[in-house]
Amino acid sequence: MLLLVINCGSSSIKFALLQMEHETVRLSGIVEAIGEAQGTIILRQHENKYKEDKVETTIADHTVALEYVLAFLSQHANNLHMLAGIGHRVVHGGDYFHSATLINDQVIDAIEKTIPLAPLHNPANLVGIKTMAKLRPNLPQVAVFDTAFFQTLPAYAYRYAVPQACYEDHHVRRYGFHGTSHQHVAQATADYLDRTLDTLNLITLHLGNGSSAAAIKNGICIDTSMGMTPLEGLVMGSRCGDIDPALPFYLVRNSNMDIHQVETMLNESSGLKGLCGVKDMREILRLAEDGDQQAKLAIDLYCYRICKYIGAYHVALGGTDALVFTGGIGENSQQIRQTICAQLKVLGIEIDAQKNDSKMNNAVEISTTNSAVNVLVIPTNEELEIARQSFAVIHDQHRLLSTGK
C-alpha cells in the first residue's frame, strides 16, 4: 500500500510517497515559490539509485503545483493504483482534534474555525486538502495535527493565568506544536529501550529552527514549551521564546515600532538571530569557535533555557527515564548536547563523550551505564509519522465499513 503525505505551506508544498509495508519513501519533493514569477520544483526518486531533478518554471497556484506532483508520481510509481490515501499535515487543530482525523466537510469547517489561531498555516493546509479533494475525489484524506499530541495536557498546564473569558470567548490557552515529532521520537525511544511507552517518563527535545520540549508521563504528554503560538518556550532560530509579556507594550510605548513591527521582530529577528545576527546553529558554533562573544552568549542562553525546562519537566514528571534529542540541532550537534548535559549532573545525567561524538543516522544512546537517565539521539521523521497515523485512520475506516459497525 502507498500513502501520500502532503505538507502544504502558503507558497510551498512538500510531499512524500511512502511504501507502507516497509515504511520507506519512494518519491518525494518540494514545490517552492508558488504564485511567484519563477517557481522551483525539486523531485526525488529514492529507489534503486537516488536521483534528484530540479525544474524552474512558473507555478501559478497550488492546483498547478499539485497537478505537477501527481504527474510525477504517476510517471515514476508504477503501482499508484495502490495509493490508499493522503495524509495532510495541519498545523492547528485547536480544541477540536485530539488525534489524526478522516477529512469530511465537518472537519474542514472545524479547521476553518481554527484559522484565527494559525492565520498563516491553516489556510494553506486547507488549500492542499481542498485541491486534492478536487483532483482525486475518491481518495480518503486524513488530517494530522501538530497540536493533537498535546490535547492530553492537564488544565493547569494548558491554561494561562488570564481571565476565564479570554479562554472561553477567544480560545486563549496553550496548544503546543511539533506534536508529530515529539510523538514519533517518544515511540521510537520506547522501541529502542524495548519498553512499552506507557511505562516511560520522557523529556523530548525537538531542537531545530523551531525548538520545543515536551514532558511525557507514562506515554501521555503532560506539558510542552510552545504555547498558544509557536513563539513561547525555548529560544529558537529567529523566535524569542519566553519573554516578559510586558515587553511588547513597553516597546510600543517607548520605541518607534508599532504592534505589528514588534510581532514581526519577536518572530523573525529575535532568538539566536537577535542575539548574534545569525540563526543557523552551524554558523553560530563556528563564530563562537573563532571567539565571537555574541555567538558564545547565544549558545549559552540557548542551552541554559533548555536546561531550565528539563529541570522543570523532571519535577513535573516525578523523575525521568529518558532524555531525547531530535531535530536538526538535537540530532547533529554533539557540542550543544554536551553543553546541555554538562549542566544536568545534578539529575544524575552523564553522557559518554565518545558515543556523543560518533556519527549517527539511527537512534543512539549516548549516556554512560552509570547515568541515572538514558540520553538518546533519535532522528525525527514527521512524514513517516503522518503516514503511519493516516494509514491507521484509513485502515480503521475500511474495517468499520467492511464489518458494518
* Catalytic annotation, residues: 146
Residue 210: CB minimum distance to ligand ADP, A: 5
Question: Whose Cβ is closer to ligand ADP: residue 5's or residue 20's?
Answer: 5
Q: Which residues pair with 203 in a beta bridge?
A: 215, 323
The verdict on 128 binding ligand ADP (CB under 6 A) reads no
Question: Whose Cβ is closer to ligand ADP: residue 29's or residue 85's?
Answer: 29
Distances (CA, A) of 234 to 116, 223, 307, 353, 393: 23, 13, 10, 25, 32
State how beta strands 2-8 and 13-19 pair.
Answer: antiparallel
The verdict on 225 binding ligand ADP (CB under 6 A) reads no
The verdict on 209 binding ligand ADP (CB under 6 A) reads yes
Angle between helices 122-135 and 62-76 (to 10 degrees): 50
Binds ligand ADP (CB under 6 A): choice among 122, 333, 367, 374: 333
Distance (Å, whole) CA 105 – CA 73: 27
Q: Which of 320, 308, 306, 305 is nearest to 203 (CA)?
A: 320
DSSP class of 60: -
# residues contacting ligand ADP (CB under 6 A): 13
The verdict on 276 binding ligand ADP (CB under 6 A) reads no
3-state secondary structure of 374: strand
Binds ligand ADP (CB under 6 A): choice among 9, 140, 179, 208: 208
Find all residues with CB under 8 Å of 97, minimum gap 6, and list them: 110, 143, 145, 147, 148, 151
Distance (Å, whole) CA 341 – CA 114: 38
Find all residues with CB under 8 Å of 66, minimum gap 6, and list them: 6, 13, 128, 131, 132, 135
The verdict on 210 binding ligand ADP (CB under 6 A) reads yes
Find all residues with CB under 8 Å of 293, minimum gap 6, and list them: none
Q: What are the φ and ψ backbone dihedral angles of 61, each rounded to 5 degrees? A: -155, -175
Question: Whose Cβ is closer to ligand ADP: residue 206's or residue 217's?
Answer: 206
Q: Which range binds ligand ADP by CB under 6 A, 65-73, 183-191, 203-211, 292-300? A: 203-211
Question: Whose Cβ is closer to ligand ADP: residue 152's or residue 209's?
Answer: 209
CB-closest chain residue to ligand ADP: 328
Contact assessment for residue 66 and residue 57, using Cβ atoms and an 8 Å cutoff: no
Residue at 325: amino acid letter:
F
The verdict on 280 binding ligand ADP (CB under 6 A) reads yes
Q: Binding pattern to ligand ADP, positions 283-302, x when CB under 6 A?
A: --x-----------------
Cell representation of residue 272? 539566536
Among residue numbers 302 through 331, which ones bind ligand ADP (CB under 6 A)? 327-329
Binds ligand ADP (CB under 6 A): choice among 195, 282, 286, 398: 282
Binds ligand ADP (CB under 6 A): choice among 19, 28, 238, 332: 332
The verdict on 28 binding ligand ADP (CB under 6 A) reads no
Distance (Å, whole) CA 95 – CA 93: 6
Among residue numbers 232 through 251, which ones bind ligand ADP (CB under 6 A)? 237
Q: Binding pattern to ligand ADP, positions 167-186, x when CB under 6 A?
A: --------------------
The verdict on 140 binding ligand ADP (CB under 6 A) reads no
The neighbour count for residue 202, using CB atoms within 10 Å, is 28
The verdict on 231 binding ligand ADP (CB under 6 A) reads no
The verdict on 379 binding ligand ADP (CB under 6 A) reads no
Residue 259: CB minimum distance to ligand ADP, A: 26
Residues that bind ligand ADP (CB under 6 A): 208-210, 237, 280-282, 285, 327-329, 332-333
